[in-house]
Structure 1
């Protein structure tokens, strides 16, 4: 036994020494293991010293090999593999992906790092600072040590802007009120750089097209007082004359069928069209002139400004019609201080066809695939209109849940026409970077639920889509029509209706005619933010105008359109998401959903497709789809074998999950979900379903873990979840934490829910 222990100890020490990374260090060299920065205590606050130290840490080079409990696995894997001849394969992956070359002390330039530290702290206003650098050795390891004495930080005594009579100087002087350089603030070179950028950006809004920040000089005078500086804003003497002038827009030329090769090598005779302030040069007259007048925001005689410049370019791009958009300005030699603007536009192919296969997951816990065939015409009526005709066919199955075995087959098609402008009897304009759209659509879908029934749905809509900016989007459907009728209802489904009459609603004929509006705000595209948010709020109104016209006020005697009672209701829903980003791969994602629908007039209840459901792959994952609520009602007591009918008029849902990377494409998550749905009114068939002030005591709660396989083009998500609280259990027994027993087969069968889905839940 003692011999075995010695052998085990020998191998343990060998592995430890190998992982420490020092056994293959070249003779005469040392392993660089990092640095220390000591900022001597002075008059500065502890917070200032701490902040400067943190920022200096990120400037020191090189970065040492990563260390875990004193071991350096990167060096171990690097040394494990000998010479690698190919830049691919398993050996290359181990040596250079898992491993990394040892960072040696001979690669550390102490004098260079000392100068980096000194420059940084001087740029922060510590003009009299002192920096020292040396190194310490311990065995085969070495560390760099930097000592900083800050002394006194200089502050701004005064800021002087140019006051002469030159137009450029006068415009710069107007900007001093919002200057980033404030008297009493500490000196910071970064603030001076940002001030130059700010002044330049403002001058670009005032017609100074050829000016740039490099023509500005901010002199620093540190002799004026004890530890104070004067800052003097000046225009450099070598600034070109044209950079000092304000320019206005003169001629605007548009080349809507520009081809780089044709138009630069062998120009052909082209037609010239004059429309408003535009000169359109197009040898094919592919586009009607008005589209450019509505898209380009400059008018002849306008003072040049960068905002209008960029907005016009963005609007041309978001038309979705042009492959390349190029713009340039040239001085008009015949008119003083005037610019001619040129827009060179290369169109996308007018017609295209696209075939795509999709993987899908829906809220009812169904997963499947869909084949889409899309035909597009990007300039249907020569006004950049987009006509899109699509046909689709798909299959959806439920991996786990009560619908397992009852597959859904879908096929249909739709046609939509999008005008890149507002089509309205009222004057509607948008000056944002995104062209507003008017959209009309019509579609048909046939849905077959095997062994149960089929539904035919015809829908049509007309409305507007517009974005204020990249964060804010509005979607208003003035007219939204949906008509659904059943077919081929099976005897199996009829028998279930006899036992559960509310299932009749699923196959009732439905006519929805109303208006919808939604507003979306998000900054999730800004990857470097600590906090990202997403908000979407919407309202859905149906049957109100018809109700007033036809006098619908009795749902027991509803009014009909084409022999079908029309639905009358108001429904609102808001969703808020928050993402707390710890680093690039780790975040805490949270979501809350609140919704409510109120039927009235011609309707006793919301249409089935408009009601709220909860549970499933992208909801409360510890419960099967649509199997929770309403309220404390236990739907398992009388639900059928294939479709839980647990819907409600009110919904509250909350989820939070911690996401992190496990290995490259594999990401993990730990999550908690909570929520429920309720009815507005009492239902004798569903005791406990009515919403009340005690709704927080009626929440279903679940937790679990998951893996996400991110293939860039597809995210495959797997979640394993189990309930913590079941609202339908007797009072005092709702919490089921004490019942958790992963070793019990019957517990696992009843409580452990596996979810397979496409994409993140939110």
Structure 2
């Protein structure tokens, strides 16, 4: 039997199984297969008919069983599972979680749907709409058919706001500039509702604390002209006086040690602290008053506004010290229109200890486990400072790849101290609800690469993290210091160095210090957007000031050492841009471009190995072994006679990835992807012919393709990818495209080309 016959019988089997779904229907029932909506009449244009038809079909209920190419696999699985004997187990899970119960025609209410369609059309300005409903039966299946004949759409002639001089009417009138109700646009009840919400939100910004959209009404006058309406915005007569009054802030009272279960707050005069405009009631003196002065945006006599209200709450939450944050505003007993603001804060336990067992993967295609022991103090110096001391140990192995057996063992410790403010001689006035932070880090790690070498690394950093808003984030490390020292270099690795001197860079002593800065922009949290973006730009400046001051120049033999180690001097820039296009809630196209370059000068002839670029692996070019591609057309595997495959590094990186992601069913998602890119050296290296970047760099791009599954368990995403190369840059020029060599039926081809990647999380 050839492949075409096999596919034919497979499709026939699926079709037959789909048809058999009706066998399981209760006696006298029909399977509901969906609704057909037609829009008729000459009163609306073709464009309006198309848009109205799409919108109307969405409001019809119920929805039929989900289908793929006319087949209903979820319904088939539901029927295949049968009736489980108990509410647990494999059969129950298959029927209730994976399967889908049949949608019966008896669940369809034609008259109700007819009225829903008519109301929707009229609420969209198509007054005098006529609707009808019917159904059609085909064997044991039935469809619903709805006909909608709308009248000509009414357009907005004029929008009128209150004209009297009262405070509330003036405030409402002042919001008209950004009104959602526009002249000549179609009448829409939804737009009217959104306009009321918009006006209510604007009034909240102007001190009207007690105002809400229900106190507004929009009258519709249909007598002004043919198929036109006037919309008249008014404040309801029954709106309470409180809602029509703008308020200012009077007292601001903070309870930093509030118990959420208590019915009242007990205070005494000794526990009351005054700090600027704040009254702080902290009998145990747990916190310094200045942290609340920084977090709260309101000052005495400020006009109330919802923005400062929310920003204050966000900042208190982002301090990371409080378990619950509760806020109340009450009319003040003082003369005038004032509110007293109360903040009730329930602290988290000051000290905690946590033990974590982690599963992890990295870009080098290593998979492993790590044990972390973390001790935290959330209020170290009474200023909401977070001190974390951790110890860790782990092992990483390469599941697939030439480095299988060259395991990595890691142990170390790290201390982090985070201040919820900028510890700096300058001020940063951030209008966001995110607290600017200062972070200091000290750490040590001992890493043993079995059969090769050991590496101990000391690191330290001091810097600032701040957000402009939920989309823009800055990270500035004023200094970042790394000192790496090798140990226990094996004879095997020394043989590698003798054959390829550039491998000696890996175990050279390294001293790297200097500032780093990164900027991140993302709007991917906006779920309703079709197009979302992520961008991260990073610049790393190492040894620049020290190099300038000392006059270091390795080219002239003027190498400067600190602690008997030459310090590194370089500039490194990297840009990571990602775009996500959403086709539907269950499918999207994700793309990424990475462009980076590093340049060593002054005290360094080359970039430090740990700061160079790498490519290939589970989160990069998935059709190639981790860190095995490049630089340029150089083939690292061909120069290696042992089982160990050394990491290939470069000074320039270009990478492009695109991936189509779609939900298959349940927690299973699928993906099709293409990856391309390479790395290059800036200078010639006699040990790596073809590695230098040149104008022919596009001819040295590696390309791979593949498919995979993602299992979304909510707490983690398990990713499996199968990928294969379609362009190999290390082959002779003219032979690099290998599409014609693809042969999934050949065991030899699969062994040499098919790469399996197991990872946690999406690659980008």
| TM-score interval, normalised by the smaller of the two chains | over 0.9
Unaligned runs of 5+ in 2: 1-8
Residue in structure 1 matched with residue 5 of structure 2 by the alignment:
none
State how far apart, in whole Å, the 1-side matches of 2:47 and 2:116 are. 21
Q: 2:165: which partner in 1?
A: 165
- Report deviation, 1:147: 1.5
Aligned: 1:604 with 2:601? no
Separation in structure 1 between the aligned mates of residue 130 and residue 593 of structure 2, nearest angstrom: 53
Query: Which shifted more, 193-202 or 635-644?
Result: 635-644
**Residues 281 and 86 (structure 1 numbering): CA distance in 2 closer, same or farther, change over 3 Å?**
same
Q: Write the mapping of 1:612-623 to structure 2, written as runs, cut at 5 A.
A: 612-623=613-624
Q: Does 1:696 align with 2:698?
A: yes
**Of 340-349 and 697-706, the range deviating more from structure 2:** 697-706
What is the CA-CA distance between 1:649 and the residue it aligns to?
A: 0.5
Aligned pairs for 1:247-286 (under 5 A) are 247-262=247-262, 264=264, 271-286=271-286
Q: Which residue of 2 aligns with 1:540?
A: 540
Residue 742 of structure 2 is aligned to residue 734 of structure 1: no
Residue 267 of structure 1: how far off its partner (Å): 6.9
Matched, 1:356 2:343: no
Unmatched runs of 5 consecutive residues or more in structure 1: 1-7
Match of 1:709 in 2: 711
Q: Structure 1 residues 370 and 72, CA, compared in 2 at 3 Å: closer, same or farther?
A: closer
Counterpart of 1:142 in structure 2 is 142
The equivalences for 1:114-193 within 5 A come to 114-193=114-193
Moved more, 682-691 or 540-549: 682-691
Name the counterpart of 2:337. Answer: 337
Corresponding residue for 1:657?
659
Alpha-carbon deviation of 1:20?
4.9
What RMSD in Å do the two structures reach over aligned CA positions?
2.3
Q: Name the SS for the 2:470 alignment partner.
A: coil
| Contact persistence 1:325–1:344 (CA under 8 A) | yes
In the alignment, the residues of structure 2 paired with residue 68 and residue 748 of structure 1 have an alpha-carbon distance, to the nearest angstrom, of 31
Q: Tell me by how many angstroms 1:430 deviates.
A: 2.1
Displacement after TM superposition at 1:704 (Å): 1.6
- Secondary structure at 2:401's aligned position in 1? coil
In structure 2, how many angstroms separate the alpha carbons of the residues matched to 1:89 and 1:632? 55
Higher deviation after alignment, 320-329 or 352-361: 352-361
Equivalences for residues 372-391 of structure 1 within 5 A: 372-391=372-391
The CA distance in 2 between the partners of 1:404 and 1:593, in whole Å, is 28
> How far is the alpha carbon of 1:32 from its aligned partner?
3.3
In structure 1, what is the Cα distance between the partners aligned to 2:17 and 2:401? 50
Look up the match of 1:529.
529
Q: Could you tell me how far apart the structure 2 residues matched to 1:757 and 1:24 are?
A: 43
Please give the secondary structure, in 1, of the residue aligned with 2:221: strand
1:90-115: per-residue Cα shift (whole Å, max 9, x none)? Answer: 44345444554444443322221111
Conserved in 2, the CA contact under 8 Å of 1:272 and 1:280?
A: yes
Deviates most, 469-478 or 378-387: 469-478
Task: Report how far residue 707 of structure 1 moved.
Answer: 2.5
Greater Cα shift, 224-233 or 60-69: 60-69
TM-score by length of structure 2 reads 0.94
Q: Distance in 2 between matches of 1:71 and 1:553?
A: 71
8 Å CA contact retained: 2:24, 2:79: no
Whole-angstrom CA distance in 2 between matches of 1:31 and 1:399: 48
Deviations 1:380-413 (A, max 9, x none): 0000000010111111112222322221111110
Alpha-carbon shift at residue 599 of structure 1 (Å)? 0.6
CA distance in structure 1 between the aligned counterparts of 2:734 and 2:508, rounded to whole angstroms: 39
**What SS does the aligned partner of 1:260 have?**
coil
What is the aligned partner in structure 1 of residue 3 from structure 2?
none
3-state DSSP class of the match of 1:58?
A: helix
Equivalent position SS for 1:513: strand
C-alpha separation in 1, matches of 2:79 and 2:494: 72
Is the 1:19–1:71 contact (alpha carbons within 8 Å) kept by the matching residues of 2? no
Compare 39-48 and 605-614 and name the one that shifted more.
39-48
Q: Deviations over 1:338-382 (max 9, x none)?
A: 000000000000000011011121222211111111000000000
Name 1:593's counterpart in structure 2. Answer: 594
Secondary structure at the aligned position of 2:478 is classed as strand
Distance 1:543 1:307 in 2: 44
Deviation of 1:193 after TM superposition, in Å, equals 1.1
Counterpart of 1:593 in 2: which secondary structure?
strand
- Contact map agreement 1:122 1:129 (CA 8 A) in 2: yes
1:677-729 superposed Cα distances (whole Å, 9 cap, x missing partner) = 01112223322222122222210011122223333333332222211111111
Aligned pairs for 1:443-592 within 5 A: 443-555=443-555, 556-592=557-593
1:505, distance to aligned residue in structure 2 (A) = 0.7
Total equivalences in the alignment: 752
CA distance 1:699–1:18, shift in 2 (3 Å): closer
Deviation at 1:662, TM superposition (A): 3.4
- In 2, the alpha carbon distance for the partners of 1:68 and 1:638 equals 50
Q: For 1:134 and 1:123, locate their aligned partners in 2 and report how far apart those are by CA, in whole Å.
A: 23
Q: Distance in 2 between matches of 1:81 and 1:614?
A: 46
Q: Secondary structure at the match of 1:261?
A: coil
Q: In the alignment, which residue of structure 2 is the partner of 1:676?
A: 678
Cα distance in 2 for residues equivalent to 1:20 and 1:564:
75
TM-score (ref. length: structure 1): 0.94
Q: What displacement does 1:557 show?
A: 2.8
1:19 is displaced (CA, Å) by: 2.0
- How big is each residue's C-alpha offset from its partner over 1:512-555, in whole Å with a ceiling of 9 and x where there is no partner? 11000001111222333322321111000011110111111334
Q: Which stretch has the larger CA shift, 536-545 or 581-590?
A: 581-590
Mark the CA change 1:86 to 1:142 in structure 2 (over 3 Å): closer, same or farther.
same
Instruction: Give the stretch that moved more between structures: 123-132 or 752-761.
Output: 752-761
Q: Residues 736 and 103 (structure 1 numbering): CA distance in 2 closer, same or farther, change over 3 Å?
A: closer
User: Does structure 2 retain, via aligned residues, the 8 Å contact 1:573–1:596?
Assistant: yes
Is the alpha carbon distance of 1:429 and 1:96 closer, same or farther for their aligned partners in structure 2, counting shifts above 3 Å?
A: closer
Q: What is the CA distance between 1:607 and its match in structure 2?
A: 0.5
CA–CA distance in 2 between the matches of 1:155 and 1:121?
Answer: 14
Residue number in structure 2 paired with 1:5 = none
Q: Secondary structure at the match of 2:659?
A: strand
By how many angstroms is 1:35 displaced?
2.2
- Cα distance, 1:139 vs. partner? 4.2
2:736 aligned counterpart, secondary structure: coil
2:98 touches 2:665 (CA, 8 Å); kept in 1? no
Q: Partner residue of 1:51?
A: 51
Give the CA deviation at 1:18: 6.1
The CA deviation at 1:480 is: 0.8
Any idea what SS the aligned residue of 1:459 has? strand
Show CA shifts across 1:549-586 (max 9, x none).
11113343311112111111000001111222233332
Instruction: Please name the residue that 1:368 is paired with.
Output: 368
Equivalent residue of 1:582, what SS?
strand
User: Which residue of 1 is the match for residue 4 of structure 2?
Assistant: none
Deviates further, 330-339 or 555-564? 555-564
Offset at residue 74 of structure 1 (A): 5.6
Aligned-pair CA distance for 1:482: 0.7
**Alpha-carbon distance in structure 1 between the residues aligned to 2:15 and 2:71:** 12
Match of 1:666 in 2: 668
SS in 1 for 2:59: coil
CA-to-aligned-CA distance 1:123-167 (integer Å, 9 cap, x gap): 111112222223334444433222111121111111111111111
TM-aligned CA distance change 1:612 to 1:80, over 3 Å: closer
Query: Residues 88 and 397 (structure 1 numbering): CA distance in 2 closer, same or farther, change over 3 Å?
Result: closer
- Are residues 507 and 79 of structure 1, via their aligned partners in 2, closer, same or farther at CA, if it must alter by over 3 Å? closer
Q: Distance in 2 between matches of 1:269 and 1:194?
A: 48
Which whole-Å CA distance do the structure 2 matches of 1:746 and 1:75 have between them? 41
Aligned mates of 1:351, 1:17 — CA distance in 2? 59
